[in-house]
Amino acid sequence: MKSLHSYRLLNVNDRRYSKSIQISMVACSVSLRGSLSNSLLHHFPSNITRRSSCKYFHGNVGKFKSARSCSTAIWDALDESPVVQNEGNGKGIDFLYLMEERGIRANVQTYLWLFEGCLNSGSLFDAKKLHAKIFKSGFDWEHVLGSRLIDIYLAHDEIDNAIKVFDDIPSPSVSLWKEVISRLLSKKLAGQVLTLFSRLITENVTPNESTFASVLRACSGGKASFQFIEQIHGMIIHHGFSSSPLVCNPLIDLYSKNGHADRAKLVFESLFLRDSISWVAMISGFSQNGREDEAILLFCQMHKSAVVPTPYVFSSVLSACTKIESFKLGEQLHGFIVKWGLSSETFVCNALMTLYSRWGNLIAAEQIFSKMHHRDRISYNSLISGLAQCGFSDRALQLFEEMQLDCMKPDSVTVASLLSACASVGAGHKGKQLHSYVIKMGMSSDLIIEGSLLDLYVKCYDIETAREFFLTTETENVVLWNVMLVAYGQLGNLSESYRIFLQMQTEGLMPNQYTYPSILRTCTSLGALDLGEQIHTQVIKTGFQFNVYVCSVLIDMYAKLGELDNARGILKRLREEDVVSWTAMIAGYTQHDFFTEALKLFQEMEDQGIRSDNIGFSSAISACAGIQALNQGQQIHAQSYVSGYSEDLSIGNALVSLYARCGRVQDAYLAFEKIDAKDNISWNALISGFAQSGHCEEALQVFSQMNQAGVEANLFTFGSAVSATANMANIKQGKQIHAMMIKNGYDSEIEASNVLITLYSKCGSIEDAGREFFEMPEKSVVSWNAMITGYSQHGYGSEAVSLFEDMKRLGLRPNHVTFVGVLSACSHVGLVNEGLSYFNSMSKEHGLVPKPEHYVCVVDLLGRAGLLHRAREFIEEMPIEPDAMIWRTLLSACTVRKNIEIGEFAARHLLELEPEDSATYVLLSNIYAVSGKWDYRDRTRQMMKERGVRKEPGRSWIEVKNSIHAFFVGDRLHPLAERIYDYLDDLNKRAAEIGYVKERYNLLNDVEQGEKDPTAYIHSEKLAITFGLLSLSNTMPVRVIKNLRVCNDCHNWIKFVSKISNRAIVVRDAYRFHHFEGGVCSCKDYW
């Protein structure tokens, strides 16, 4: 009766609607998913409520009576309207309640459509109501229903509810496991995927290919341990999927991302059929693991296999070419890309732009950019970064504006690149404008941008702004603290840098692998070894002692500061093969003149399969230059060429130094001309190399060319040029360079003063050397050594010893060079006991192991004093094997003292070591001559002739009016020879008048002296001095250089000439300086 009553309540419109329902029922029974059923409920008012709908359908129940057998299908059809209209699922749930009131039980399809409606409308509330309804009604879960409900919960990030639904499904099928895992993976819920997979294994469900593939992709998020990945790999093999591309492709990718390229390669090689994804995974895997060469070779193999390359393949190979700077090959790949019609692919274009930008070919990069149909952020970032790296900040900023006009909001990478561009060219003003933009766009808290902004202010030397900005940032960002450490390090402010280092730890931040290098580099540049050692201790305490990056900086610090044993110890303890650490050690050995050790280490590095970088090659070539190992240097240069460093500037400079120091003048010039972008180091290599190899005139010519070319000379340049003038004893040009140093502001530098002390000492002006030394506000050990050595060379032994004692009183630590100077000083003035005492103090008081040069000094000390037997005993008791220099020193002393016995003893040893050295034969011959043993003298000379040994002729030089004049014994080739000999006769007569008596030439017998013209025996120094007296102003001292030891007669003659001419005469022979003035020599006749 109730239903009939309800029927009467229907108005005319309601009847029209009920009629349309009756017409539609037949169609619903035929096709539940047909278009008619989908449109059926479109006729109902959209504002119908649950209550009104119940009232409405109660009144129409009679109309459904005839279709009772398909009632569920009809109700299902009614439930489709919310799905179509997406206006919420409330009406569908109302219909569900109405179905229950009429005794109609909903089936799986009904709930499925209702869930679809919830999923499409986004109604989590309705979905939960349906879930509760199903749960209360005791409805059996179907897999398809559970899967749809899981989709709804995952769509609303209701992970726990999704898993609970899955747990309620009895005996879920493999496909359902796979589907749920796949859905979780699509939501990037890697942790839940791995948990669910573990359950799957525990419940003995056999995973299929898709499941394994999903789980492996989940592992790539870093959620799984490597051991877990290996276990999955084992299961893959166990279930027979080891050759399935679907499974193996993500496995290759996973191994590669975890740094196990070799395992990835094994998986790749196990594939019988490789698709394009397999090749991409392996190629990119090699590239990611620093095995770019293998990536390129694999691409070649792929090409030969006729596999059609995809854009992803080209992107990976181009990335590999960029990393190893194989730009030519990348250019060839560009041709392939055009051929295959992939030149419009966005990510391929991005990779090409990165390649060309790194190459410096920005024209090609811009052309690619301009032709791109679709540009993304990476496109702009690639080009902006390339422009920034090449210093084109204006164009980079212009591109930034174009990016904004392209309706593309710049991200932190773009802005960071722009800030880097400004920082690289010191464009602080533009950088500040970008800072304003960053604040406006709300990006100021981005960690990358914070670091870039701080780096900008630091590189623009705006330390105050950098400090202010640093104080406004989040102090938890360790990167910013590291940048501030670098900032104060650049300013040389070690105290502030160390204060920041301590403060960051006080605030609870632990130093990382970049913090330690930041402050250690400051310690290195300022020579703060003590502080560096303290920080090294902290490195060990905090567990960074095996970090490759930290260790490489520690090795560099110890090596540069001379603690080579400590540096080598760190290198030996390294657990990884790091080329930077090895090359830092090689460079350290080279820097401190341990050239043989440097080359041994270079060879050891190669033997271990470590490929050298440009620093290693340049250091090794420099080491070859240090020991004049020309052939080995050329071989290493060839290696560097093959390794792709043919145009490297540092290697080019090292090669110039090699040829110059080996005296290969033309080769040095040729290597120099091959350098396109010559810098100060290139010019310095040529100048210093020529100066060190004795080509001093060439060195000074290059120095002049450098000035004419407008290249700014630095302190090292001036030092090399001054050394060249010192070696030539060219005091005039030396003083000119000194004036240039003052003009350029280098006169206050300690290194400048050191080289000037050496200049004036070698040019015979010991007074100027002393003035330079005593006016220095600060002195290094090198300064003291230079002055002590200068005093020693000039025969001022007492002054040298006194200076050495002052040095010790000031707490300065003498080194090996210091003791060479002190021992030589004692030798030149006959301080035998003092010299021996100083020699013994080397090891006992100063911890220095005497070197061969120190033993030479002691032998010279004893020999000059006439203690030849004691000198022989000293040599025989030496802990090291005597070298040629030691025996030559003893032989020279025997010649002066006419001791044939010990002289022959020394000569025998010397001839065994150096049978082709002319000095040995000459000295031995002279011993026999001065002793009157003419037969022995003749046999010695005959032996010398038979062996093809030629005596070095005596030669003297003097500079007059900017020209160097050279003289030989009995020389008559000079244009003024007649005037020189006439004036020499006059000098001889005047000298004889005041007591000079010419010594009989005792190297020739009576017959030989009677047969030859007496002028043929006039020594070169007499001719040079005579010419100087004729040509130089009376106020100028006469400065002469001789390549051999001055003889007794010449020494005596010069004393008399200095008196009669009233001139100062300075003679530098092979052993020392002689200052003659007023008939007295500074050596006091002891030389």
Tens-place pLDDT, residues 767-790: 999 999 999 999 999 999 999 999
Q: What integer pLDDT is reported at residue 705 of this predicted model?
A: 94
Beta-ladder partners of 1068: 1041, 1073
Tens-place pLDDT, residues 1029-1081: 999 999 899 999 999 889 889 999 999 999 999 999 999 998 889 999 999 99
Nearest C-alpha neighbor of 1026 from the set 981, 990, 1059: 981
Contact 1078, 1056 (CB under 8 A): no
Nearest C-alpha neighbor of 687 from the set 675, 679, 699: 699
Helices (H), 914-955: 918-930, 934-946
Sequence-distant (6+) residues with CB within 8 A of 189 are: 159
Confidence at 106, pLDDT banded by 50, 70, 90 = confident
Contact 595, 623 (CB under 8 A): yes
Q: Which helix (H) or strand (E) element contains residue 1038?
A: strand 1038-1042
Q: Which helix (H) or strand (E) element contains residue 117?
A: helix 108-121
Q: At 396, which amino acid appears? A: A
Nearest C-alpha neighbor of 1020 from the set 989, 1043, 992: 1043
CA 623 to chain centre: 19
Q: What integer pLDDT is reported at residue 50 of this predicted model?
A: 36
Q: At 251, which amino acid appears? A: L
Q: Which of 165-179, 976-990, 1010-1024, 1037-1051 shows the lowest mean pLDDT across its residues?
A: 165-179
Contact 321, 315 (CB under 8 A): no
Written as six digits, the tokens of 409 are 């909001």
Q: What integer pLDDT is reported at residue 141 of this predicted model?
A: 60
Highest mean predicted confidence (pLDDT) among 19-33, 264-278, 904-918: 904-918
> Rounded to an integer, what distance in angstroms lies between the CA atom of residue 1083 and that of residue 303?
83
Contact 245, 277 (CB under 8 A): yes
Tens-place pLDDT, residues 201-256: 777 778 888 888 887 887 876 666 777 778 888 888 888 888 888 888 888 888 88
Q: Which residues of 951-969 are buried (b: 16+ CB within 10 A; e: fewer)?
A: eeebbbbbbeeeeebebeb
Written as six digits, the tokens of 103 are 């005794």
Nearest C-alpha neighbor of 1078 from the set 885, 1068, 1063: 1063
Tens-place pLDDT, residues 386-434: 887 777 877 888 888 888 788 787 777 778 888 887 887 777 878 888 8
Highest mean predicted confidence (pLDDT) among 144-148, 534-538, 1016-1020: 534-538
> Rounded to an integer, what distance in angstroms lies between the CA atom of residue 1052 and that of residue 138?
130
Q: What is the mean pLDDT of the chain?
A: 83
Beta-ladder partners of 1041: 957, 1068
> Rounded to an integer, what distance in angstroms lies between the CA atom of residue 485 and that of residue 476?
15
> Rounded to an integer, what distance in angstroms lies between the CA atom of residue 52 and that of residue 54?
5
Beta-ladder partners of 1040: 958, 1067
> Rounded to an integer, what distance in angstroms lies between the CA atom of residue 632 and that of residue 614?
17
Tens-place pLDDT, residues 458-485: 888 788 888 888 888 866 778 888 888 8
Residue whose token pair is 């229903």: 145
Written as six digits, the tokens of 1018 are 């006039």
